[in-house]
Amino acid sequence: MESEPKRKPTSREIAAHFRAEIAAGTYSPGAKLPGAKGHAQKLGVAVMTVQTAYSQLNTEGLTEGVPGSGTYVRDPAAGKQGPREAAQSVIDLQADVARMSTELAGLVERVKQLEDVVNSIRETPGT
């Protein structure tokens, strides 16, 4: 029996992986991330997928690209939040958004129930 092929990670998943690694301290300030081409081959994805992930990390302020050299974990300026703290902040925000989405779904369900009650009252003769 053949096993199903392994699903290839998306750029968001690759960025999330490195974000978690930076937050955990696996990659410290100044550390070089794997080259996009080699990492793409390792993961079985297009180079552009890894480059998009690195671009996202750069946009978040966690990394900086050095043309012709690679992508490095940003070394914070004095008094600024470091990449480890920034990565943890992004992870915390994602958890908050997920929690709020769940709470919002619960509120939507409660509003639907209230609308049903109001509609049934309106449909009752003599009210």
Each residue of 50-74: pLDDT tens digit?
Answer: 999 999 999 988 899 999 999 999 8
Q: Are 52 and 11 in contact (CB under 8 A)?
A: yes
In a domain, 4, yes or no: no
Residue 30 belongs to domain with CATH number: 1.10.10.10
Which spans in 44-127 are helix H? 47-59, 83-123
* pLDDT for 31: 94
pLDDT band at 80 (very low <50, low <70, confident <90, very high): low
Reported as a single tens digit per residue, the pLDDT across 37-52 is 999 999 999 999 999 9
Residue 91 has pLDDT above 90, yes or no: no
- Number of domains forming the structure of the chain: 1
Reported as a single tens digit per residue, the pLDDT across 10-22 is 999 999 999 999 8
pTM: 0.62
